[in-house]
């Protein structure tokens, strides 16, 4: 993408705490004109460029309302997520993860197409509520938010925004899964799938 955030409109989901809160602040620091802060509870923010909006990413009616409310969008950050430390062989637990972590971003991304380009962030442990009880070294949300936006501005597709995830970057970019993705992308580009 190679663009800057100055003058842009950004929507961050899960914006009330953790990484989402840091992403809102980082977008403001980079001169974003409007930052929609998606939250499940009412939020107030001292910067008038922030527009809080109620958004549970599993609720399609809320997504529709937000899409109608946001006049134009340059950057969508699908940040909202859950990590339920429970038995993943239990279908109900797995479905709760998928609803937020997979179908939420899928619904939102589809809702804002074709205006977006896509980047993936593959983060390591961060110092937030989500990994509070995990006894490993953690990156601060401020440094991760900064590294994410730096990488977006640099046009990186797959972003490794902290020291732990960065150790995986090279093997990810040259690995079999990524090669298969590139081969499939080339196939689709050569012969678009009929609607
Ligand atoms: N922390 C880590 O070590 C780590 C590592 C790699 C990736 N990540 C990813 O980074 C992202 C941010 O995580 P975090 O560490 O900042 O977690 P966090 O502190 O637990 O915050 C999670 C955020 O997601 C929101 N959320 C949860 N379910 C939602 C829903 N259905 N609709 C809308 N918002 C919802 C929460 O809102 P409420 O306050 O209303 O619950 C909260 O704002 C997540 O996608 C996570 O998977 C985190």
* Segment 128-171, tens digit of pLDDT: 999 999 999 999 999 999 999 999 999 999 999 999 999 999 99
CA of 121 to the centre of ligand 1 (A): 14
Which atom number of ligand 1 is nearest to the Cα of residue 125? 3
The predicted model scores a pTM of 0.95
CA of 20 to the centre of ligand 1 (A): 7
DSSP3 helix / strand / coil % (the chain, rounded to 5): 45, 10, 45
Residues 147, 22: Cα–Cα separation, whole Å:
11
pLDDT in tens, 13-72: 999 999 999 999 999 999 999 999 999 999 999 999 999 999 999 999 999 999 999 989
Pocket probe for ligand 1: among 13, 19, 106, the residue whose CB has the most ligand atoms within 8 Å is 19
Residue of the CA atom closest to atom 45 of ligand 1 = 81
CA of 98 to the centre of ligand 1 (A): 13
| Number of Cβ within a 10 Å radius of residue 102 | 11
By CB atoms closer than 10 A (0-12, 13-18, 19+), residue 111 is middle
CA of 184 to the centre of ligand 1 (A): 31
| Number of Cβ within a 10 Å radius of residue 152 | 21
Cβ pair 189, 164 in contact under 8 A: no
CA of 79 to the centre of ligand 1 (A): 6
| Number of Cβ within a 10 Å radius of residue 141 | 21
Residues 64, 190: Cα–Cα separation, whole Å:
33
DSSP string, 23-67: HHHHHHHTT-SEEEEEESS----SSTTEEEEE--TT-HHHHHHHH
Ligand 1 site residues, Cβ closer than 6 angstroms: 13-14, 16-20, 40-41, 55-58, 79-83, 100, 123, 125-126, 128-131
Residue 156, φ and ψ in degrees, nearest 5: -80, 135
pLDDT at 193 over 90: no
Band of residue 2 on the pLDDT scale cut at 50, 70, 90: very low
CA distances in angstroms from 10 to 29, 52, 76, 110, listed in the order given? 12, 12, 6, 16
């Amino acid at each position: 993408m190679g663009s800057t955030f100055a003058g842009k409109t950004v929507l961050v989901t899960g914006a009330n705490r953790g990484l989402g809160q840091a992403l809102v602040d980082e977008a403001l620091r980079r001169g974003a004109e409007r930052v929609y802060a998606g939250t499940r509870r009412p939020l107030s923010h001292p910067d008038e460029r922030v527009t809080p909006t109620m958004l549970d990413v599993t609720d399609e009616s809320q997504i529709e309302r937000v899409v109608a409310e946001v006049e134009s969008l340059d950057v969508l950050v699908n940040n909202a997520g859950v990590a339920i430390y429970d038995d993943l062989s239990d279908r109900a637990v797995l479905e709760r993860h998928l609803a937020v972590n997979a179908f939420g971003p899928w619904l939102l991304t589809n809702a804002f197409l074709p205006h977006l380009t896509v980047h993936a962030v593959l983060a390591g442990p961060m110092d937030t509520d989500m990994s509070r009880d995990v006894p490993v070294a953690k990156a601060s949300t401020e440094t991760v938010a900064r590294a994410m936006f730096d990488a977006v501005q640099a046009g990186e597709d797959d972003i490794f925004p902290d020291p732990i995830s960065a150790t995986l970057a090279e093997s990810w970019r040259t690995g079999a899964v990524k090669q298969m993705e590139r081969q499939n992308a080339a196939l689709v580009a050569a012969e678009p799938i009929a609607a």
